[in-house]
Amino acid sequence: MSRQVLVTLMATSTIAAAPVAASAAEQQAAVEEIVVTAQRREESLQEVPISVSAVTGNALERAGVTETRQLTQSMPSVVFSRANGAFQPYIRGVGTRNANIGDESSVSVYVDGIYQPSMNSLGFDLVNISRVEVLRGPQGTLFGRNATGGLVNIITPDPEPTFSGRAVLRAGNFGEYSAGIYLTGPIVDGLAWDINYQRYGDDGYLKDLVRGGRAGARETEAFRGKLLFQPNDTFRAVVAASVFDVSDQSLSNQPVNGNTIANTFIPIPVYGREPWETGLENLLLASARTKSLSLQTRYAFSAATLETSSSLQKGESHSRTDNDASSRVIQNSETFQENAYISNEVRLLSTSEGPFSWILGGYQFSGRGEFRPLISYTNGVRGVPVYTRQDVDSLAAFGEGTYRLGDHVKLIAGIRYTKEDREYSSRNTTTVLVPLQKGSQDKITYRFVAQYAFNEDTNVYASYSRGFKSGVFNGFATTLPAARMTRPETLDSIELGVKSDPLPWLRVNGSVFWYDYTDIQQSARDPNLSLVVLFNAAKSKTKGAEIEVTTQPLDGLSVRGYATYLDATYQSFPGAQIFQPRTPTTANPCRAGIAFCGNNTNSNYDASGKDMLRSPKFTAGMSFDYSRETELGVFAIAGNVFYSAKYYWDFENRLANPAYTMVNGEVSWAQSSDEKALRLSIWARNLGNEVVYSQILTSAQGDVGAFERPRSYGVGLSKRF
């Protein structure tokens, strides 16, 4: 689908949804007011001077979005990709390419306001979600933990004082199945509980050229439980515990364009030349277990509210990679990771009715990430195991004030100070970890906003903000200077936005933005062992524009469309590392008919002016949900269309993810309009069977890539009670 066709489709669907002469019933339809916590308070989406999108869990489910990396298909400016076992969200071209132990994402992910530090734990199923909020742009004050690019906040329901629940069953092709149950209810007056459990599995969607049959199976198991204690109107406390297990072989890869060093070996095995094929001796794996325990409290005083949040998170993961994507063991690696982090935050929020409101707070974060160990294999020979560890201790204080000048003008100023200490230890020939290097850094970040409301329905805002991501050590290195600490990366943003509800059934939000991004933390590959090298790139300039339109022209029909233009380029990047394909020569022949034989060892390259990684110049999406009640029950149809222009996976812009259009849909029937009615559905994802890479990695051994899911379809059954 071309860009022009998709934009036309979005525009005409919005116009067509507006009735020329609405009936009395149709005139009652209105866009639902959405409450978000983007400024640490519950506020209307339209009053918050931030580029934020919020989508309910039901809407995501009907749009075919069932796990975090599928958020790409439903949110403006989001690209949720991965690097082996690490999941890497990008917003407006800003994200973390590294998959290092102890490193954290430049796009912060929160669950119920609790920070999720490990990138290996970000690829989870969206189980029984209330809504997902995506804040675009640096969050340097209220959500300041490394949120250079923005943040994703996944919000789950709290326990209810009356008993209720929901059960869901789904089945589809490739052996896919999922079963989930959610229960909530009271224990005694003022004390309620809930539990949520889901299990998912499939047989894989890859054709296995070595063993036959299908490969790439994925299995997950998720448990979440909460206790809500609310004895009165002034105090509440929520204790939450969760466990998430995943075992995923869907990243089993193949050479991109046939480029692998295995082509120099005769005879040549079959590697896979068509999408969704793999020919590996050992299937790749990304398995992880994440456990979390948190406590959140809120106490309301007469003029302020005191809020606290504390969490303990532990995780372990195991991954297998194959840098040449062949059935021969040429350059492989295996990692075992462990991490443990604690965080504590306290916030004091004013509640007076005066023109001035404020938030003051403090944040503490500490923990460690470890390779236990990392093992490389070269031509089948096991290398020396590497053990490394990165410890972090961080303290921050922040505050933000809002002053209202009459009914039209609102001014906001916020500041945050962060002090962080890191220590890096390693061993390979010794039996104990040896401290190798320490580093400290501090930073002041801020936000200034001016907002003007023309009336109750339309306002404009201008903001200037700064975010930063702390420097980290290279967790793959055991000696200096390779293990040196990177400099913090800093992003300054200017944004102009408008939020408008011009008609009860129409909402239009838009923004334009400019980024100045310096000391960008990047990763590359060691040409010998293909392990990660960590460094700071120079700087980039980014500009773009976004628009998001929501309509509900009549009862039963809602339409949401969005589009993003992004011009994200490296302004100065003279020392970029690239790998370029080797062609057959007399001295180094390849199999007949093969164009490439792996890559040359890395070379320095001036990437100034090149597109930033994973930054499509244009994306657009449209979703709709229509239901109609009849004597036979309620029939509904929902769909989601997402278009992305091509984007790149390397600094040279040689390896591209081609432009693609993703279409998901669902048709359903319910016994009645009662929310507790039995509901049956037929669903489909990627109806056009588009080929989309979930990752492309390049090294001296070649270019290798893995794929997102092909066309999938199935049935679902759900019941509330």
pLDDT of residue 9: 36
Q: DSSP class of residue 270?
A: P
The predicted-structure confidence for 397-428, as pLDDT tens digits, reads as follows 999 999 999 999 999 999 999 999 999 999 87
Token pair of 175, please?
Answer: 């052996």
Residue 388: how many other CB atoms lie within 10 Å: 27
Q: What share of the chain is helix, strand, coil (3-state, %, to 5)?
A: 5, 60, 35
633: left (phi over 0), alpha (psi -120 to 50) or beta: left
The predicted-structure confidence for 92-139, as pLDDT tens digits, reads as follows 999 998 878 889 999 999 999 999 999 888 888 888 899 999 999 999
Q: Which of 684, 670, 675 is nearest to 717 (CA)?
A: 670
pLDDT of residue 601: 79
Q: Cβ distance 567 to 544 under 8 Å?
A: yes
The predicted-structure confidence for 545-573, as pLDDT tens digits, reads as follows 999 999 998 889 999 999 999 999 999 99
Question: If DSSP codes are grouped into helix, strand and coil, which group holds residue 62?
Answer: helix
Q: Is pLDDT above 60 for 190?
A: yes
Alpha-carbon gap, residue 198 to 707, rounded angstroms:
25
Cα-Cα-Cα-Cα torsion 425, 431, 432, 434, nearest 10 degrees, comes to -40
pLDDT of residue 12: 36
Q: Is pLDDT above 90 for 231?
A: yes
Token pair of 248, please?
Answer: 């995923």
- Give the length of the chain: 721
More confident residue, 370 or 589: 370
Percent of the chain scored above 90 by pLDDT? 72
Q: How many CA atoms lie within 13 A of 87 on its CB side?
A: 26
Token pair of 615, please?
Answer: 């930054």
Amino acid at 321: T
R_g of the chain computed on alpha carbons: 25
Question: If DSSP codes are grouped into helix, strand and coil, which group holds residue 47?
Answer: helix
Helix (H) or strand (E) holding 82: strand 78-83
Alpha-carbon gap, residue 493 to 139, rounded angstroms:
10
Q: Which of 36, 146, 39 is nearest to 94 (CA)?
A: 146
Q: Cβ distance 252 to 216 under 8 Å?
A: yes
Question: If DSSP codes are grouped into helix, strand and coil, which group holds residue 103?
Answer: coil
pLDDT of residue 432: 84
Q: Cβ distance 443 to 146 under 8 Å?
A: no
Percent of the chain scored above 70 by pLDDT? 94
pLDDT of residue 81: 86
Q: Is pLDDT above 50 for 282?
A: yes
Token pair of 554, please?
Answer: 């009549």
Q: Is pLDDT above 50 for 317?
A: yes
Cα 469 versus chain centre, distance: 17
More confident residue, 269 or 212: 212
Question: If DSSP codes are grouped into helix, strand and coil, which group holds residue 204?
Answer: coil
Cα 8 versus chain centre, distance: 28
pLDDT of residue 409: 97
pLDDT of residue 4: 41
The predicted-structure confidence for 20-76, as pLDDT tens digits, reads as follows 334 444 445 788 888 999 999 999 999 999 999 999 988 888 888 888 888 999 899
pLDDT of residue 643: 97
Instruction: Set out the domains of the chain in order of their start, with CATH numbers.
Output: 3-720 (2.40.170.20)
More confident residue, 113 or 6: 113
Mean pLDDT of 478-502: 91
Helix (H) or strand (E) holding 394: strand 386-405
Tell me which long-range contacts 85-89 makes (C-beta under 8 A, separation of at least 24).
85/120, 85/286, 85/287, 85/288, 85/317, 85/319, 85/335, 86/119, 86/120, 86/122, 87/119, 87/120, 87/122, 87/123, 88/119, 88/122, 89/122, 89/149, 89/152
Q: Is pLDDT above 50 for 16?
A: no
Task: Write the CB contacts of 241 (distance below 8 Å, at least 6 apart in sequence).
Answer: 224, 225, 226, 291, 292, 293, 294
Q: Is 403 exposed, middle or buried (0-12, 13-18, 19+ CB in 10 A)?
A: middle
Token pair of 277, please?
Answer: 């094929």
Q: DSSP class of residue 528?
A: T
Alpha-carbon gap, residue 582 to 702, rounded angstroms:
9
Helix (H) or strand (E) holding 4: helix 3-16
pLDDT of residue 531: 66
Provide the mean pLDDT of the chain.
90
Task: Decide the pairing of beta strands 114-115 and 107-111.
Answer: antiparallel
pLDDT of residue 263: 87
Q: Which of 133, 151, 130 is nearest to 142 (CA)?
A: 151
Task: Decide the pairing of beta strands 78-83 and 107-111.
Answer: unpaired
Question: If DSSP codes are grouped into helix, strand and coil, which group holds residue 37?
Answer: coil
Q: Which of 467, 470, 441 is nearest to 148 (CA)?
A: 467
Preceding omega of 527 cis (within 30 degrees of 0): no
